[in-house]
Structure 1
Amino acid sequence: MIDNGGGSELLPRLCCPEKGPNGYGFHLHGEKGKVGQFIRLVEPDSPAEKSGLRAGDRLVEVNGDNVEKESHQQVVNRIRGSPGSVRLLVVDSATDERLQKLGLECTEDLVRGLPDEKLEEAKSGGQEPREAAQREPDVAEEDKKKKADGEKEEEEEANHAAQRKELRPRLCRMKKGPNGYGFNLHSDKAKPGQYVRAVDPDSPAEASGLLPQDRIIEVNGVCMEGKQHSDVVSAIRSGGDETELLVVDSLADEFFKKCNVIPSEAHLKGEAPILAGILLRIGVI
């Protein structure tokens, strides 16, 4: 990440991750009622995490091009089309709010600091500029026009195949360390199955890509659907010093359940199940 030199000052950030064997290691999604694309999750020890990217950041530019009004798939395509590395200009929610109040457009120039006149205005607690206050109605008007033209429906249809590919189980392989694997299991009374409650930092579990709230589908190739907590623990222990867990996050879990399909290793790379009418706006990059 390029240092903004401003300590705790609220400024945009420029994150430049280099693509690793598993991609950049972050998840992108749209939020209802908000314009733009947001970082949903940053995988531990990934190029994205090392670049300074954070969950909740709003994506403003990709390789110097503003993407605030682009569709989810357009943004995903831009990032995927960038060879080797990508430049992402992002803002967290507090910085986003501050820039809007000052009437400033978020650009790469602001990474190193605000213009002098705006810095004085920020220090004096100046009034919210009229143009910033009017920004939301403009967005609402644009959304209205999109709906009238039917663009939203066309865009979702175009994205459907890509989204199905991205909602998949994950296979996490780990070797026991001095303190075990480094994760805890728990049950949720409201939901069937066994879930990952916590993943210890710098543990074998974290290195394998296991995440909190993942649901366990298989242990060492054996399906755990309908099994009790003790059964899952025993299956993990029976693997000795190594274990292999097939898991799904909450979005993938919901998708497969609505398709009435139990995830398996066949879904890691093969054809994902099709669910007519379900369009989950989520990207994994």
Structure 2
Amino acid sequence: MSDKTSEAKVHFRSNAKVHEVDLRIREANVRLCQLCLWRNRKGIGFHIAPSSSSLPVICMVESNSPASAGGLKICDAILAVNNKNISEANYQQATTIIKTALNTKGRVDLLVVEQKFYKELKKNDISMISSSAKILVTPHSMPADFFNFPKHQPRTCDIHVNQDNKTFGFEVVSGDDNIGIYIQEVAPDSAASNAGLRKSDRIIEINGTYIEQDSNMNYQHYLWIAQASVYVDIGDDKSKLEATKLFEFVLYENPLHDNARLNLAILHFNPSHVHALETCAIVGLQMNHPTEAFIDLNQVLHFQPSSAPLLANRSVIQQFLDDNRNQSC
């Protein structure tokens, strides 16, 4: 009786352990990417970061490549190649193993995990991880939309959202040394997908601002500001709350960010209230936006046309604007 009870307990713990690992694997987005070469394209389409560390990490996935079609992502850590553990391999060893597989068979299976989850999964057996990984297979030939897609041509993707669908529908990731911004994933049937944004695209500009060489922190600010501006345009209470959160995210990272400070201040004012408009003007002056401050003061003067302090402030701003205009000429 006791032996059977003991066996039952051991069996139960084993199942619980497998279930726990399986849940972690799902959270970590572990994938078995089965990649193959295409006849009409040179190379598999990804690069491993040269590093002194022993963990091979993907630093680049080319757009419209077998690697992109097979689910490989920037910042993926390679755990195994063709079921062989290479998590401790250096850069040269990893690239040699992968190139050998491609040269001999024209295909390679990569077991990968998002790098940030690697330490959590490292203590688990590779075979257990592999058996629970999501399998993604590259098509045997280049898809028609890949083949017909214009190469090496910058394009503008106008992403339009509305009150029913307020999300952009894409994820981004930074490039080497946190420089450059790449599209990590595009959600199907999303605003980004409908605008023609594609996985592995590199973002050059956001709303007319050149950001190609910006750092990870700066490009995130641009995206937050862009998203917040959309919420402000939508205008309902829930959207304004979301906009407030995004502007506050920017200010947490950079307390002197002009755009975020000005927009956040305006969001919390009632434009129909005289004191609110006057405060907007003060904020505009503090942010070195004299034109906006001048407009706000004019609105206040509609309510208090004989206010001596307001008239004096408007005169000072008017003189400042005239002086700047004369210097420009």
TM-score between both structures, scaled by the size of structure 2: 0.33
Pair member with larger Rg:
2
Higher helix share: 2
Structure with the larger RCO, 1 or 2 (CA within 8 Å, 6+ apart) = 1
Higher strand share: 1
TM-score between both structures, scaled by the size of structure 1: 0.37
